[in-house]
């Protein structure tokens, strides 16, 4: 993922926001220590999605178009919200399993405070530099992470806070949802949460004259002044996009293709083809032996113990070999 566009964006963001990020990282550390018993290891969530599909909900117009389908089958999938989709889901009686927050400036007052009494079923996954007001709410649980970027700013924030959970930095919070669930990086492909597939809705990266955001027709004016690009969506219909949205679509498409992520695009009103397209109403019905999740976790734990034992045996054998070697030198 190391191209000049990503480098330029990372440097620009760090130059503008580093001071605020440091301040908020320390605030989040204090909240985590006081409220969540410190920064918990996100490994406890690994492989929990085996046997199920996860529905990742971004804030494009296709999310609103499918709200009744999501409500109908919500109990059959694990739903991952981002900051701006959490409230829309709760408004429709849909409780996400996770809420991913990345932005240091995402409004607590607008997007979370109205729902502060409805969070007991949702786990927060918050950037350690994210808005601390979100961290202090009454979530079911909370985990924090550091964004690994190409300019190595993550080393600073790991040292500052002691937070060891790390995911590569995406271009926006929508992309971060898929990165969080899979956590592929330059060391190789991964699927750490273990979901059999990732369903994408609201990952549009474009809009038409009918709707900019889900449940927000003009996006507080963005539908008018962000029209940088005229293009066509997967349907072949004419749409608008902004430079940021277009860049994010290309970035996520590259991430999905590079690591063969099993992400299914559930809207054709999008610029992102993902790894395939499908109908949400059908895909949300899927389940296959979710109890395998516990089996996998047990086997991984057993394998770790076996590997540790092998290392212990190898160390003992090496020690004995060296002792005999040096003992024999005395008689050479």
Q: For the segment 153-184, what is each residue's pLDDT rounded down to a tens digit? A: 889 999 999 999 999 988 899 999 999 999 99
Residues 211 and 326 in one domain: no
Average pLDDT score over residue span 233-262: 95
* pTM for this entry: 0.89
228/312 same-domain check? no
Mean pLDDT of 57-76: 97
Alpha-carbon distance of 293 to 165, in angstroms, equals 21
- Asked if residue 239 and residue 91 are part of one domain, the reply reads yes
- Give yes or no: residues 319 and 219 share one domain: no
pLDDT at 81 over 80: yes
Mean pLDDT of the region 12-18: 79
Q: Are residues 170 and 304 in the same domain?
A: no
Same-domain check for residues 183 and 326? no
E strand or H helix at 248, and its extent? helix 243-258
Task: With a cut of 70, say whether residue 1 has pLDDT above it.
Answer: no
In this predicted structure, the answer to whether residue 4 has a pLDDT above a threshold of 60 is: yes
Instruction: Answer yes or no: are the C-beta atoms of 162 and 139 closer than 8 Å.
Output: no
| One domain for residues 226 and 273 | yes
Confirm if 105 and 99 have CB atoms less than 8 A apart. no
Count CB atoms within 10 A of the CB of residue 1.
16
Number of domains observed in the structure of the chain? 2
**Based on the domain organization, do 62 and 167 belong to the same domain?**
yes
53 and 183 belong to one structural domain: yes
Clarify whether residues 283 and 212 are in a common domain. yes
Which alpha helices (H) appear in 51-165, and where do they start and end? 61-65, 67-73, 83-91, 108-111, 132-135, 153-161
Shared domain for 72 and 12, answered yes or no, is: yes
Mean pLDDT of the chain: 93
Domain that holds residue 27: 4-289
Q: pLDDT confidence of 16, banded at 50, 70, 90?
A: confident
Pair of tokens at residue 90: 């709760």
DSSP 126: E
330, pLDDT greater than 60: yes
Residue 58: is its pLDDT beyond 80? yes
Report whether pLDDT(229) > 60. yes
Which has the higher per-residue pLDDT, 248 or 220? 248
d(CA 324, CA 274): 59
Identify whether residues 36 and 68 lie together within a single domain: yes
């Amino acid at each position: 993922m190391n191209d000049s566009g990503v480098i330029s964006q990372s440097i620009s963001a760090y130059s503008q926001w580093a001071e605020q990020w440091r301040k908020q990282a320390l605030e989040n550390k204090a909240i985590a220590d006081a409220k969540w018993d410190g920064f918990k290891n996100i490994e406890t969530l690994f492989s929990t999605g085996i046997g199920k599909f996860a529905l990742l909900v971004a804030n494009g117009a296709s999310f609103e178009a499918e709200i009744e389908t999501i409500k109908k089958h919500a109990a059959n999938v694990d739903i991952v919200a981002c900051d701006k989709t959490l409230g829309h889901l709760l408004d429709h009686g849909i409780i996400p399993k996770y809420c991913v927050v990345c932005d240091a400036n995402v409004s607590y007052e607008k997007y979370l405070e109205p729902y502060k009494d409805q969070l007991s079923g949702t786990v927060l996954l918050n950037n350690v530099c994210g808005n601390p007001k979100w961290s202090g709410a009454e979530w079911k649980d909370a985990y924090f992470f550091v964004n690994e970027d190409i300019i190595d700013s993550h080393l600073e924030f790991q040292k500052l806070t002691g937070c060891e959970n790390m995911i590569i930095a995406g271009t926006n919070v929508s992309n971060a949802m898929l990165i969080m669930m899979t956590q592929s990086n330059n060391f190789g492909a991964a699927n750490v949460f273990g979901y059999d597939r990732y369903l994408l809705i609201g990952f549009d990266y474009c809009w038409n004259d009918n709707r900019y955001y889900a449940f927000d027709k003009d996006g507080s004016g963005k539908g008018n002044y962000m029209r940088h690009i005229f293009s066509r969506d997967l349907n072949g219909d004419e749409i608008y996009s902004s430079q940021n949205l277009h860049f994010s679509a290309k970035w996520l498409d590259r991430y999905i293709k590079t690591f063969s992520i099993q992400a299914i695009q559930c809207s054709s009103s999008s610029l992102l083809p993902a790894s395939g397209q499908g109908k949400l109403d059908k895909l949300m019905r899927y389940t296959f032996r979710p109890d395998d999740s516990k089996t996998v976790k047990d086997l991984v734990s057993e394998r770790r113990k076996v590997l540790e034992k092998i290392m212990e045996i190898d160390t003992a054998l090496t020690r004995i070999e060296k002792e005999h070697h040096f003992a024999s030198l005395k008689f050479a």
